[in-house]
Amino acid sequence: MMEYARMKFYCDESRCIECDGCSIACAEAHELPVGISRRKVITINEGIPGKEFSTSVACMHCTDAPCEQVCPVDCFYIREDGIVLHDKEKCIGCGYCLYACPFGAPQFPRDGAFGAKGAMDKCTMCAGGPLETNSEKERHLYGQNRIAEGKVPLCAAMCSTKALLVGDAQSVSNIFRARVAARGKGANAPYGWDKAYKNQ
Amino acid sequence: MKKYLYMFIATLALASVAWATESQIWGEMRIQNILGYGQEESLKLGVLFTFLQSKYFAWIFLAVLIGVPTVFFVHYKLVGPKVFPHSHKKHYAFNLFHRTVHQIAAISFLVLVPTGFIIVFGDFFGGGTLVRMAKNLHGIFTIPFAIVVIPMALMWLKEALFNFEDVKWFMILGGYLSKEKQIINATQFNAGQKMWYWVAILGGITMILSGAMMFFLDFKMEMLHNLTGLSQIDLLRVAAIVHNVMGFAVVALFITHVYMSMFAIKGAVNSIITGYVEEEEVKFLHNAWYKKLKEKGKF
């Protein structure tokens, strides 16, 4: 059997300059409706000297993803490389995944009947959905499937300071360690890793 | 009553205004929403909700759905129904207003309960259109129930207050465990009915409010944050937990209510349809009320 790499996001807090480029690149690449942003840059401890930092958050594609555990219609599926995807045609827009998510990632466009919440939308790590790869319908519902084309997810590809990285766990860890060693500080795991990857 | 109605309308109005303004979940508030997740000093509601929803809620609903009717099936086979003659004198106990309010609530429940189960067992039904439709109906049929719940609460409040006789009723479970017809000294509503009244009214209002929170999701109510100190997503987590837990009680007693009126006391359901209660039923099952009615020269 083939061993799959575990795909992870890593945002280097000492490199992120809060330019919001990742968020806009994502929204444009996937032609997201207004009001939906799968990725968002947040600044934590704003105004507190020495403690303030910015980071980019989206779906972290967690290990044992809580969203997948709570979904009443079981619309989530986790790829062998760890990418957490969902079936928008199964999703009923109940909101449970949002309550389970540590990162506030699932969003709900109000396009259902009587202003009800429509199917959930979140970051796919540019890996599309359960439909035929690179089909028109997949693109319409989930956005680009760059992974299938062998490309890096757009947010990380365009990050100007290379703060945001995405890749297999081993490569990401190597870069993280190298950067920490070079800086001689900041050995703490980046924001969200404890919740998403249980620090593994 | 008007005050509550205004409060309810204000809640809806506030919620719809919130759509147009800044998001309480994904905007600036996102930091507040996600920073506390799983931290020692927080209530760990995200972890708690995930644990309960993934491990327990659906199973408890399944246990209620199968368990409660099974108990009643066994009761029906072993003890059997109580049959009272329907040819005797009758008393007009429920006027048109009572019946209309009750019937609107009844129709709402007949939609709310099955659609709720379809959502809970959504994976069994394969998700998609059917379950989405159930979710929408679950929301729409909340409206008629929300309209009648306060009038219903007020019109039966006096009869639903517990008294000392109710303790005795609970000790013998209203005499429903014996085949004999016993004289039960209950007023217009016995302790079981009173229990259902409180679960349907207080539980029902809780279901409406927690359900509305989850439906509107991205609403803004400063008051709730100040009162509870919870972030928007934490409020929603509380709403989801409360909605499920209260759901167990409401569904269990709803099934009981249907069983008692349709099967356990043969034909008792007719009283809420026609408005007339049977003399024999009242005499045996609601003797305190019977005596009162007799004094007034009814029957």
B281 and B195 within one domain? yes
For residue B153, the model assigns a pLDDT of: 98
Cβ–Cβ gap B34/A72 under 8 Å: no
For residue A27, the model assigns a pLDDT of: 96
Do the domain assignments include residue A1? Answer: no
More confident residue, B68 or B42: B68
Does the CB of A32 have a partner CB in chain B at under 8 Å? Answer: no
B104 and B79 within one domain? no
- Please determine, for residue B249, whether its predicted confidence score (pLDDT) is greater than 90: yes
Residue A92: pLDDT band by 50, 70, 90 thresholds?
A: very high
Residue where a domain stops, chosen among B155, B183, B198: B155
Domain that holds residue A61: 7-195
For residue B20, the model assigns a pLDDT of: 44
B139 and B65 within one domain? no
- Please determine, for residue B33, whether its predicted confidence score (pLDDT) is greater than 50: yes
* Averaged pLDDT score across all residues of chain A: 92
B170 and B135 within one domain? no
Residue where a domain stops, chosen among B155, B178, B201: B155
B117 and B15 within one domain? no
Burial A24-36 (b: 16+ CB within 10 A, else e): ebbbebbebeeee
The number of domains in chain B is 2
B149 and B182 within one domain? no
Q: What is the ipTM of this complex?
A: 0.93
> How near does any CA of chain A get to the CA of B249, in Å?
20
CB contacts of A37 in chain B (<8 Å) are 26
B100 and B87 within one domain? no
Average pLDDT over residues B251-280: 95
Do the domain assignments include residue A200? Answer: no
Do the domain assignments include residue A2? Answer: no
For residue B61, the model assigns a pLDDT of: 98
Q: How far is CA B131 from CA A99, A107, B180, B194, B205, in A?
A: 20, 19, 45, 34, 24
B239 and B105 within one domain? no
Of A94, A102, A107, the CB nearest to B135: A94
- Please determine, for residue A114, whether its predicted confidence score (pLDDT) is greater than 70: no
Cβ–Cβ gap B128/A89 under 8 Å: yes
Reduced to 3 states (helix: H, G, I; strand: E, B; else coil), residue A164 is strand
Does the CB of A96 have a partner CB in chain B at under 8 Å? Answer: yes
Average pLDDT over residues A90-119: 90
CATH number of the domain to which A64 belongs? 3.30.70.20
DSSP 8-state code for residue A154: H
Percent with pLDDT over 70 in chain B: 93
More confident residue, A116 or A95: A95
B222 and B100 within one domain? no
Residue where a domain stops, chosen among B155, B170, B190: B155
The number of domains in chain A is 1
- Please determine, for residue B75, whether its predicted confidence score (pLDDT) is greater than 60: yes
Of A35, A99, A113, the CB nearest to B49: A99
Residue A74: closest CA among chain B residues belongs to which residue?
A: B123
Do the domain assignments include residue A163? Answer: yes
- Please determine, for residue A124, whether its predicted confidence score (pLDDT) is greater than 80: yes
pLDDT tens digits, B194-221: 999 999 999 999 999 999 999 999 988 8
Do the domain assignments include residue A92? Answer: yes
Of B49, B128, B233, the CB nearest to A90: B128
DSSP 8-state code for residue A107: B
CATH number of the domain to which B280 belongs? 1.20.950
Domain that holds residue B102: 95-155
* Averaged pLDDT score across all residues of chain B: 92
B198 and B82 within one domain? yes
Residue B248: pLDDT band by 50, 70, 90 thresholds?
A: very high
Average pLDDT over residues B152-178: 94
B248 and B179 within one domain? yes
More confident residue, B42 or A87: A87
Q: Can you tell me the distance from the alpha carbon of A182 to that of B78, in angstroms, rounded to the nearest whole number? A: 79
Does the CB of A107 have a partner CB in chain B at under 8 Å? Answer: yes
- Please determine, for residue B10, whether its predicted confidence score (pLDDT) is greater than 90: no
Residue B133, CA atoms < 13 Å, CB-side half-sphere: 5
Taken in order B121, B125, B128, B134, the sign of the CA dihedral is: negative
B99 and B114 within one domain? yes
Radius of gyration of the CA atoms of chain B, in A:
22
CB contacts of A60 in chain B (<8 Å) are none
Residue B21: pLDDT band by 50, 70, 90 thresholds?
A: low
- Please determine, for residue A185, whether its predicted confidence score (pLDDT) is greater than 80: no
